[in-house]
Structure 1
């Protein structure tokens, strides 16, 4: 096996084990040595890829964000209407949190910055803008102001996600998806969309 391939395989195994352990126990509980042994990699391979736990946690965080964003964009591209995309974004977020409860705890915690994360975010927000732009042009959505738009779109759902994760309710309440989707659409719809309803 070529050396690069073996290295990539060791890195992938370390990330997979760390992601599982961090989601189940929290990033502080699992030690690097536990992750290394479960991933069946050498001490040298571990420290070659991840010199400390923060670098491993940062890589796990970036990988999860990338997968979340990829699914979000796939959902968004499946909606031709502005309302469908806005409501779909809220539903996607809450469904993802419900399906990945432990991992969502990591994503909704402290942001672990990295070059990989910055690159993923730049590509993600560029793609969201591309979807948003024609709907804005036709008056169906308000102009995008990325921080404000993101807060109005997903902020309440993210805050509820923290509450739900900390609780004991086994499934995400359907009324939460509907309530936060209604609120997001009311906050982000454009003048033309409002005119059609009057």
Structure 2
């Protein structure tokens, strides 16, 4: 098994163990037994349990944002871009509930020594998405407001719905309300909700 495959196997085992036992209760030995790796191999790749959790968090974070950015790249207008982000967000969570729960448990998953790196990684991903949307801000299609507001306004309701679904408190499929949630986000972010902004986001500024 290659080094990359070994690391991937350890992270997959860690996610399974964290999901079953909880992050705090899980041990290095639990993870070792699940993936049949040596303790030495685990410490070599990740250092300790906190290092495993941070690496797993980065893996989930990168996969989530990669999906967001790949689908967003196909958006030909601002309204479709908003719909794409909301739709991808919920599809990713429904497809990977264990990883989604892990990412939602950030306070338990990411130790203080890794928090700054995770924050910077998240910020870089968000900046990439914001760059894709920027032409529509300049055209006046999307409202100008403090950057910190866009995430909550765009995905706040979807986040709350996802949390309820992941905890078993939702009685319906979250994918069934994507159109409703994306429409609400569009009405909140658009200067004129009846105008989609026909220029492609990749157009020259």
Range class of TM-score, shorter chain: 0.7 to 0.9
Count of aligned positions: 191
Equivalents in 1 of 2:100, 2:193: separation in Å? 34
Equivalents in 2 of 1:144, 1:117: separation in Å? 25
2:182 is aligned to 181
1:83 is aligned to 79
Distance 1:163 1:76, change over 3 A: same
Q: Which secondary structure does the structure 2 equivalent of 1:178 belong to?
A: helix
- 1:13 paired with 2:9, answer yes
Contact 2:141–2:195 (CA under 8 A) maintained in structure 1: no
Distance 1:196 1:118, change over 3 A: closer
Describe how 1:159-170 pairs up with structure 2 within 5 A: 159-167=160-168
Deviations 1:153-198 (A, max 9, x none): 00111011111111165862444322211111111112xx34749x
Q: Specify every segment of 5 or more residues in structure 2 that has no aligned partner in the other structure, as ranges.
A: 197-205
Deviations 1:14-47 (A, max 9, x none): 1122123334553245321121133222221112
Equivalents in 2 of 1:38, 1:195: separation in Å? 53
Task: Pick from 15, 23, 41 the counterpart of residue 27 of structure 1.
Answer: 23
| RMSD over equivalenced CA pairs, Å | 2.5
Deviation, 1:122, is 3.5
Equivalents in 2 of 1:155, 1:24: separation in Å? 27
Equivalents in 2 of 1:73, 1:170: separation in Å? 30
Task: Pick from 43, 58, 61 the counterpart of residue 47 of structure 1.
Answer: 43
TM value normalised by structure 1: 0.83
TM value normalised by structure 2: 0.81
Distance 1:34 1:195, change over 3 A: closer
- 1:64 paired with 2:65, answer no
1:153 is aligned to 154
Equivalents in 1 of 2:106, 2:174: separation in Å? 25
4+ residue segments displaced more than 4 Å: 113-116, 168-171, 194-197
Q: Specify every segment of 5 or more residues in structure 1 that has no aligned partner in the other structure, as ranges.
A: none
